[in-house]
Amino acid sequence: MAEDPKAISENVTRLGSASIPKLILEFAVPSVVGMLVNGSYNIIDSIFLGHAVGEIGLSTVTVANPIMIVFMALSMLVGNGGNALAALRLGEGKKDQAERILGNVVTLCLILWIIVATLAATPPALEGLLTLSSATEEVRPYARIFIRILCFGFILQCIGFGVNNFIRTCGAPNRALGTMIIGLGGATVFNFLFVIVMGWGVMGSALATIMGQGLACAAVLWYFLKTKSAPLHIRLRNMKPNIRVVGSILSLGVPSFSVQAGMAFVNFVLNFQLVKYGAISPVGAQDALAAIGVVQRIGMFSAMPLIGVAVAIQPLLGYNYGARKIPRVRRILFTGIGVAETISTIEWLIVMLFPSQIAMAFGISHEALLAFTISALRVQFAALIFVGFQIVSSNYFQATGQPLKSIFLSLTRQIIFLIPLLFILPEVLPSLMPGLWGLDALYYATPIADSLAILTTLCFVIWELKRLKRLEAGQITAKY
């Protein structure tokens, strides 16, 4: 039964008046689960291919992983940026502008898809991506098929994941979660049918992924096109690109994009270093891609619920900041950090206590490779316990219309600190610790980079709390 207009309005305005713990719980649970669902596509591909095809399947997903992260980055660029801007405008009571933002986001998704599909259809461009991702001769034919299929289906992910964020801002977080669960459930079923039953290998896994994303895309479009009770709707007149709106969307979306693009760049560099140092180690290049690829996927998966918390409180922060309810902004930030830290602590304990079970779930059973994977898991996740604070705090600046600060903090963990360490440690660490190979040094870089990023973010948060105090006192004005 459709809601009446008054109820719909209250569903949005309650962001500035309802209990903060209750709102965060309501928004965070489906958002966290939703991010886990979205991150599970890669995990499911790896598990099915690892058991059905073996190390070559895991290596294929490792090579494709940077491309898959780029797709998520592009989806978050337009989706999170548009969602943050729409939340600010709704907080100001400007519904028409929020709908225009939604329409422009859909248009941007279509434009990005055309670009991605064109690259996939251009052999030199696709081969260049495979080379950039350090595909070995054995893996290249499989990775080529896998990546091309994902490129052609990118529009389904961009709308199914990017536009999905607007459903939360419309006050329907459970509906947003439902669209993502539909997609993951479909991808899992199709993976079983195509990979295990029909034996289609990497082609079957890629097709299963985009078909699952297609189900999620259809559910999102249905909400904004056919659900009368939705506060915002996709309207053809709002899809005409507006330069100022597009600029604001991209500006606010860059921080989220930077996090994912940073992950992709790290994966490109890491794959290169894995092939280089794996070839001169007892593990070997292909097994190094398979093992560390699993560790990286677990790392990205562990970040998903933390990003989910950050995304969940984004409309709450944006609405209340736009409405100048500064005390609520502070309480939302602190509560969000507390929730994220609880999740990251639980994840840290799971990795430390059950590393062998995690590795074997991906089909890694060879004794030497299993021991290497276990060691990599424990070292790389050493600082995970504090990463929740860093991710939520970085996203706070995006939600409150301070994209440059958010971009910088996002880049500290993924680019500014980690990339140099990936080049320096393999040359330095073996001389300091003779028992380690250059390959071992690659997974020591992550906890060091995480620690430096956490300390940097702490300094920014302390400064921001002082600024909020001055803003509340009317000594300064907010600009975004």
Give residue 7's pLDDT: 42
243 exposed, middle or buried (CB, 10 Å; 0-12, 13-18, 19+)? exposed
Do residues 140 and 287 lie in contact, with contact meaning Cβ atoms separated by under 8 Å? no
Give residue 150's pLDDT: 92
**Total-model pTM:** 0.69
Q: How many helices (H) and strands (E) does the chain have?
A: 20, 0
Give residue 12's pLDDT: 64
The C-alpha angle with vertex 65 and arms to 288 and 53, in degrees rounded to 5, equals: 65
Residue 439's φ and ψ, nearest 5 degrees, are -65, -40
Give residue 285's pLDDT: 67
Which amino acid makes up residue 51? H
Question: How large is the greatest C-alpha to C-alpha distance in the chain, in angstroms?
Answer: 70
Give residue 4's pLDDT: 43
Give residue 479's pLDDT: 58
pLDDT, tens only, 401-458: 887 888 888 888 778 898 899 899 888 888 888 777 777 788 888 899 999 999 999 9
Do residues 399 and 321 lie in contact, with contact meaning Cβ atoms separated by under 8 Å? yes
Length of the chain: 480
- Domain positions in the chain are 20-472
Give pLDDT < 50 ranges for the chain.
1-8
HSE of 447 in the Cβ direction (CA atoms, 13 Å)? 14
Instruction: Dig out the tokens for 416 from the structure.
Output: 């500014």
